[in-house]
Amino acid sequence: MKHLKSFIAITPLLALISTSNGATDDFTSYANGTALSPSNGWSAKWDSTNATQQDLYTVTDGVLTLDTSVAWRNYHALNQSGITMSTDKTAILSAEFRYHHTSGGNITTNFNQSAFGLMISDDANWYSGKNAYLAMSNRGGAIGNPLPIAPWIEGWQTHTSLGVDTTAGGTSEWIRIEWKLTDNGTEIEAVGDIYNATTGALLYTTTTYTTGIASGSTIYGGFSTAWNGIGDVPIESFSKFDAINIDNFSFALDSVPAGSMIIIN
C-alpha cells in the first residue's frame, strides 16, 4: 500500500534511485521476500555468529518489514548512497513507519526504550562508524522519541490516536519521520518532525540536538532499532512491537526554503 500523502524535501519517490546526493527507495521494485543487502544498495546487519540476527529487513508487496519479534538493539540498515556535508549544508532523511502492537494492553515496565526509527552514520557499513538516531519508543500508552540530551524523552502520541487498541492489539496508522540534518561548522545538528503520513498533520517537532558526527563528514542514512538499555533481546520483549513496516525512504539535500513543504497527492 502506498499512502495518501507523501512528504519529501526534493525528489519523487521512485523504487530505488541513488545519486551522489543521497537516494530514494519505495521498495516497489523488490520481489516478495527480498532482504536488504548490498545487491540492492543497502548494508543491513548480518551477524555471522548468530543466524537469528540475519535478513530481518524484508519486502512484501512493496513495503519493507523489520521483524522485531527477533531483531535486537542496533539492528541497522544503511543505504549506500551518502551525502558529503559542509558548513550550512542541510540534508533531509525521511521515511514512513507503522508498528504492530501485540495484544494484552499497554506495557507496564521498560518504558522509553528505543525500538525503531531513522539512523545516520559516517560510515557506509552497518558494523562501523559514528552513529546517531531519531528513534521511537513505547511510553506505555503512547509513543515518543528518546533524546541524547534533556529532556531525554519527549512526544506523547497515544496508541489510540494512531488507531491501535493495545488490549486487542493491532497495526498503527502510518507516521512519517523527517529528520533535518544541518552542518553547523563543528558537527551535524539534528531536529525531527513527526507527521501523520495519511492526513499530513504535524504531530510534533523534536528538540534540536547534536549528533557528534563531525562537520564535513559523508553521512549515510537508514533505519535501526537503535541502542537500548535492556540488552540483546528481541525488541518485542520490552516494547510489544512485534513488527515494523517501513516505506518511502528518502535521503536528499534540502533545496526547499526553511518552513516550506511539498505535498504530493
Q: What CATH number is given to the structural domain containing 168?
A: 2.60.120
Identify the pLDDT of residue 20.
57
Residue 217 counted as domain residue? yes
**DSSP-assigned letter for residue 236:** H
Identify the pLDDT of residue 22.
85
Domain count, the chain: 1
CA distance 195 to 6: 10
Positions in the chain short of pLDDT 50: 1, 5-14, 19, 257-265
Identify the pLDDT of residue 49.
96
Residue 263 counted as domain residue? no
Residues composing the chain: 265
Residue 229 counted as domain residue? yes
Identify the pLDDT of residue 21.
75
Residue 48 counted as domain residue? no
Residue 50 counted as domain residue? no
What is the domain range of residue 97? Answer: 6-34+56-186+198-257
The H or E element spanning position 22 is strand 22-25
**DSSP-assigned letter for residue 72:** -
Q: Which residue has the cell 533535518?
A: 180
Cα dihedral 98, 50, 148, 94, rounded to 10, equals: -40
Q: Which are the contacts of 147, defined by CB distance < 8 A and separation ≥ 6?
A: 153, 154, 206, 207, 209
Identify the pLDDT of residue 128.
96
Residue 131 counted as domain residue? yes
Residue 41 counted as domain residue? no
Q: Which are the contacts of 104, defined by CB distance < 8 A and separation ≥ 6?
A: 166, 167, 169, 240
Identify the pLDDT of residue 4.
52
CA distance 58 to 46: 13
Q: Calculate the average pLDDT of the chain.
A: 91
The tens digit of pLDDT for each residue in 150-165 reads: 999 999 999 999 999 9
The tens digit of pLDDT for each residue in 46-71 reads: 999 999 999 999 999 999 999 999 99
Residue 233 counted as domain residue? yes
What are the C-alpha distances in Å from 203 to residues 84, 137, 156, 248?
30, 15, 9, 19
Identify the pLDDT of residue 3.
64
Q: Which are the contacts of 50, defined by CB distance < 8 A and separation ≥ 6?
A: none
